[in-house]
């Protein structure tokens, strides 16, 4: 199959004419993660690609491919020698944007860093944060419960993950959370690539200064001290300062930019499906499984990129050396080859095979903390506000690119 025509062997639903009529563009040969239509028809597009489009191509900027089936996504994510992370995970990367370590590196550098960072976010360590996270969830609810309404994202969803990560893991002041959340959001979704770079630059500058300040303080034995200690690379060199700063940026980015979407989506789903809400209230033992299903169905990370290091064929499409490839975790988590009715939410689904936290050596380092935040949110919210609904006119608003974000959600009770 010619690399510019990944649709050749597909059925009549995936002809350019049929796709343009249905989606407004040829998804297979001319996809665009930043297309407003993708934002507006997110679920429909994901479901269609998971069923019909194992590989699609984008002509935007320098162009990129998207790999969509679970088997192919997992194989590519585990084969870092062929699909390298060292040239970044975002398509059409703004010029001058520093790479984020260790996410945008390959083994052995990636392995060196993850070996020292992982213990700080292990299941056992994160379990020790559970009560603090629950207390913070209740402190946030206290601020609006008597009012009978809230804007969930700004008053809860965008705050709890940052509080959990800043207070327990990084030791950053929560007063600066709003600035960092805005910097990460605009650095990800701003339409102007220069604006994205500027916002990311501000996040880098803030965290660089914080790391410099911490280097003058007594050791606390925490994650920041581990970053400051650095690692020794295989060539005998010590990790440079800019790598340490980018480690902190990467962790901050992951800690505040992703869990909010799953959290808001789960709360919205339960607001609009009172039968499922009552199911969780009556059967609290289902909450942990429900979290996995919500994580599968509401993917904050749509796709992350790799660069092909050699010519490679995926699902009949030849991808040339040097071309950019997105691993579409969101599609892989809806692959009908691996589950029944993936387009539906099933809180009793067993062995949920989702890729929301990534696959392979780059699997999300913060997944253990994210699960604690999500479980605490559902359990504490349903205890205190068991009957709630979406406020008229308050349906959620979204923005979508290689990540997906819920911007607003108005609730009342």
pLDDT value of residue 394: 96
**Is 171 part of any domain?**
yes
Asked whether residue 7 is domain-assigned, the answer is: no
Residue 96 inside a domain? The answer is: yes
| Domain assignment present for 4 | no
Torsion of CA 317, 322, 324, 325, to 10 degrees: 50
For residue 307, list its beta bridge partners: 84, 324
Question: Does position 3 have pLDDT exceeding 60, yes or no?
Answer: no
CATH number, domain containing residue 88: 1.10.630.10
The pLDDT tens digits of the residues spanning 54-113 come to 999 999 999 999 999 999 999 999 999 999 999 999 998 877 778 889 999 999 999 999
| For residue 185, pLDDT beyond 80 | no
In a domain, 148, yes or no: yes
259: in domain: yes
CB pairs under 8 A, 24+ apart, for 123-129? 123/368, 125/368, 126/368, 126/369, 126/372, 127/368, 127/372, 129/164, 129/168, 129/169, 129/369, 129/372
Helix (H) or strand (E) segment spanning residue 399: strand 397-400
Domain count, the chain: 1
| Per-residue model confidence as pLDDT tens digits over 332-391 | 999 999 999 999 999 988 888 888 888 889 999 999 999 999 999 999 999 999 999 999
pLDDT at 10: 53
Q: pLDDT digit string (tens) for 18-51?
A: 999 999 999 999 999 999 999 999 999 999 999 9
Give me the domain span that covers residue 351: 12-412
Q: What are phi and psi of 67, to 5 degrees?
A: -95, 130
Determine the Cα–Cα distance for residues 321 and 308; give it in Å rounded to an integer: 5
* Residue 135 counted as domain residue: yes
Instruction: Give the start-end residues of each E strand in 9-157.
Output: 55-58, 64-67, 83-84, 149-151
Could you tell me if residue 6 is inside a domain? Answer: no
Q: Quick one: which of 171, 281, 154, 252 has its CA closest to 219?
A: 171
């Amino acid at each position: 199959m010619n690399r510019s025509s990944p649709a050749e062997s597909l059925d009549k639903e995936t002809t350019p004419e049929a796709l343009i009529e249905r989606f407004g563009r040829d998804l297979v040969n001319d996809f665009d993660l930043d297309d407003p239509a993708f934002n507006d028809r997110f679920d429909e597009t994901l479901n269609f690609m998971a069923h019909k489009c194992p590989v699609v191509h984008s002509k935007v900027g320098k162009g990129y491919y998207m790999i969509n089936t679970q088997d192919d996504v997992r194989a590519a994510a585990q084969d870092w020698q062929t699909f390298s992370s060292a040239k970044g995970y975002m398509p059409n990367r703004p010029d001058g944007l520093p790479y984020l370590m260790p996410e945008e590196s390959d083994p052995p550098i990636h392995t060196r860093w993850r070996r020292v960072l992982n213990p700080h976010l292990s299941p056992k360590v994160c379990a020790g944060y559970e009560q603090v996270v629950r207390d913070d969830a209740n402190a946030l609810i206290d601020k609006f419960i008597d009012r009978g309404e809230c804007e969930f994202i700004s008053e809860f969803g965008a705050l709890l993950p940052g509080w959990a990560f800043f207070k327990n893991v990084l030791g950053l002041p929560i007063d600066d959370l709003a600035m960092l959340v805005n910097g990460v959001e605009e650095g990800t979704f701003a339409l102007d690539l220069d604006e994205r770079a500027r916002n990311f630059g501000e996040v880098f500058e803030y965290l660089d200064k914080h790391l410099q300040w911490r280097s003058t303080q007594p050791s606390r034995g925490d994650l920041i001290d581990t970053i400051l200690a650095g690692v020794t690379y295989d060539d005998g060199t010590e990790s440079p300062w800019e790598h340490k700063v980018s480690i902190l940026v990467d962790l901050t980015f992951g800690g505040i930019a992703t869990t909010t979407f799953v959290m808001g989506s789960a709360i919205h789903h339960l607001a609009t499906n009172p039968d499922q809400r009552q199911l969780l209230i009556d059967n609290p033992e289902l909450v942990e499984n429900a979290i996995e299903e919500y994580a599968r169905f509401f993917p904050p990370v749509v796709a992350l990129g790799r660069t092909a290091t050699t010519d490679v064929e995926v699902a009949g499409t030849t991808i040339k050396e040097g071309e950019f490839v997105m691993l579409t975790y969101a599609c892989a988590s809806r692959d009908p080859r691996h589950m029944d009715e993936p387009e539906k939410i099933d809180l009793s689904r067993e062995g949920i095979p989702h890729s929301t936290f990534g696959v392979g050596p780059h699997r999300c380092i913060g997944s253990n903390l994210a699960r604690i935040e999500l479980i605490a949110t559902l359990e504490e919210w349903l205890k205190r506000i068991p009957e709630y609904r979406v406020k008229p006119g308050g349906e959620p608003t979204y923005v979508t690119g290689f990540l997906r974000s819920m911007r607003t959600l108005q609730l009342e009770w």
